[in-house]
Amino acid sequence: MNIKLLTKAIKYEVFGVLIMALFIAQPIAAKTVKVTMTAKETNVVIDNKGTEYPAWTYDGKIPGPVVRVTEGDTVDFKLINPDTNKNSHSMDFHAAVVDVLKEFSEVKPGENKHFSFVAKHPGVFFYHCGATTMAQHIARGMYGIIIVDPKEGYSAAYPKPDREYVLIQSQYFPNAKDKNAMIENRGWTGSLINGKIFHYDPVHDENASLTLQSKPGERVRIFFVNANINNPVAFHPIAGIWDRVYINGNPQNTLYGIQTRNVAVASADTFDLVSPADHPTNNAIVDHSMSAAMRGAITVLMNMPDADPKLGKGDNILIR
Ligand SMILES: [Cu+2]
């Protein structure tokens, strides 16, 4: 063979292999996810009987909207602080690696803030307002969850769940103005689960009308955030065992067969629960610290054949 032709052939071969390697290594195309939130200082209902509380919120609700992206995505975020508000507010995404003095700085009433970051780590993360006094901004309701799904998707290490639920726990301080009580952990009278005391517990609150639901044998995945000001959460599924706990929601940090997992303040973990497949059961998912459980941190999960097919799916993972 002509030596020139041979060299050319080898070049094409190498080129072809390179192209193929590039193709194989290509991750799921990262996307840009636009998220806009408006700080709203407004009354919200904090229990099942309709008690109102002068809250500070993202978009008028406690907790704020669920943000969900895939590992590698860019979150393009805008915070609007209308001039009708009295206070500065901010956004601190725990999923972001940025500059606390720049991206997370306070936004005065009448001003907006825009920043972006790449969600580089998969898992579940807290977000909250960091404006002064931070304890008060969180206690009054400015927090939520950002879920960063792993770019590999589901696998044996991270099985596809049948249902997903978000639970965010926080401490309720009835005196919304007493910042020192919040900092010093005095005077809190309730545990809010997704913004309400005994939100999903008709056993302890006759006014409660909601529960979590699944069918017997389903894998239920719970994304849990501890938005308390000072107290860790002893997260336990009464009458069950966590099949898996993904620390910080990352499948690379998996624990198996766990009874109670201590979740630090401002942290989040992902929990899988699989109920017996052959008969209906119920779980009470609690903060086993009794001072929190008896103030509202109990959630009933009913595992029954006629479970509502819409609950725990799509946009129905944070039930309001
Ligand atoms: Cu705020």
Q: Is 253 helix (H, G, I), strand (E, B) or coil?
A: coil
CA of 107 to the centre of ligand 1 (A): 9
CA of 181 to the centre of ligand 1 (A): 18
pLDDT tens across 224-272, in order?
999 999 999 999 999 999 999 999 999 999 999 999 999 999 999 999 9
CA of 231 to the centre of ligand 1 (A): 20
CA of 141 to the centre of ligand 1 (A): 8
Residue 11: pLDDT band with limits 50, 70, 90: low
CA dist., res. 222 & res. 273, Å (int): 8
CA of 90 to the centre of ligand 1 (A): 6
pLDDT tens across 279-296, in order?
999 999 999 999 999 999
Helices within 131-178 (DSSP H only): 134-139
CA dist., res. 127 & res. 141, Å (int): 11
Residue 29: pLDDT band with limits 50, 70, 90: confident
Q: Percentage of the chain with pLDDT > 90?
A: 91
Residue 5: pLDDT band with limits 50, 70, 90: low
Residue 26: pLDDT band with limits 50, 70, 90: low
CA of 311 to the centre of ligand 1 (A): 31
CA of 47 to the centre of ligand 1 (A): 22
Residue 102: pLDDT band with limits 50, 70, 90: very high
Dmax of the chain from CA atoms?
89
CA of 131 to the centre of ligand 1 (A): 5
Tell me: pLDDT of 13 over 70: no
Tokens standing for residue 246: 């993904």
CA of 139 to the centre of ligand 1 (A): 10
Amino acid sitting at position 166: V
CA of 20 to the centre of ligand 1 (A): 50
CA dist., res. 104 & res. 114, Å (int): 10
CA dist., res. 304 & res. 33, Å (int): 36
Q: Percentage of the chain with pLDDT > 70?
A: 91
What is the rounded (10 degree) CA torsion for 6, 7, 8, 14?
110
pLDDT at 28: 67
**How does DSSP assign 81-97, residue by residue?**
E-TT-SS-B--EETT--
What is the rounded (10 degree) CA torsion for 182, 55, 194, 130?
-60
Task: Please tell me whether the overall predicted TM-score, pTM, comes out greater than 0.85 for this model.
Answer: yes
Asked which of 21-25, 122-126, 200-204 is least confident by mean pLDDT, the reply is 21-25
Report the chain's mean pLDDT, rounded to a whole number: 94
| 136: nearest Cα among 191, 88, 182 | 182
* CB-based contact 235:169 (threshold 8 Å): no
CA of 5 to the centre of ligand 1 (A): 70
Tell me: pLDDT of 23 over 80: no
CA of 104 to the centre of ligand 1 (A): 11
pLDDT at 267: 98
CA dist., res. 210 & res. 199, Å (int): 7
CA of 88 to the centre of ligand 1 (A): 6
By CB neighbour count within 10 A (0-12 exposed, 13-18 middle, 19+ buried), where does 308 fall?
middle
CA of 129 to the centre of ligand 1 (A): 5
CA of 109 to the centre of ligand 1 (A): 11
CA of 87 to the centre of ligand 1 (A): 7
74-81 and 32-45 as β-strands: parallel, antiparallel, unpaired? parallel
Residue 7: pLDDT band with limits 50, 70, 90: low
Q: Tell me what the mean pLDDT of segment 50-73 comes to.
A: 98
CA dist., res. 212 & res. 282, Å (int): 10
CA of 44 to the centre of ligand 1 (A): 15
CA of 91 to the centre of ligand 1 (A): 8
pLDDT tens across 173-207, in order?
999 999 999 999 999 999 999 999 999 999 999 99
CA of 157 to the centre of ligand 1 (A): 38
CA dist., res. 275 & res. 136, Å (int): 39
CA of 140 to the centre of ligand 1 (A): 8
CA of 130 to the centre of ligand 1 (A): 6
Tell me: pLDDT of 8 over 90: no
Tell me: pLDDT of 297 over 60: yes
Tokens standing for residue 237: 């599924």
Tell me: pLDDT of 96 over 90: yes
Residue 4: pLDDT band with limits 50, 70, 90: low
Helices within the chain (DSSP H only): 3-25, 134-139, 179-184, 290-293
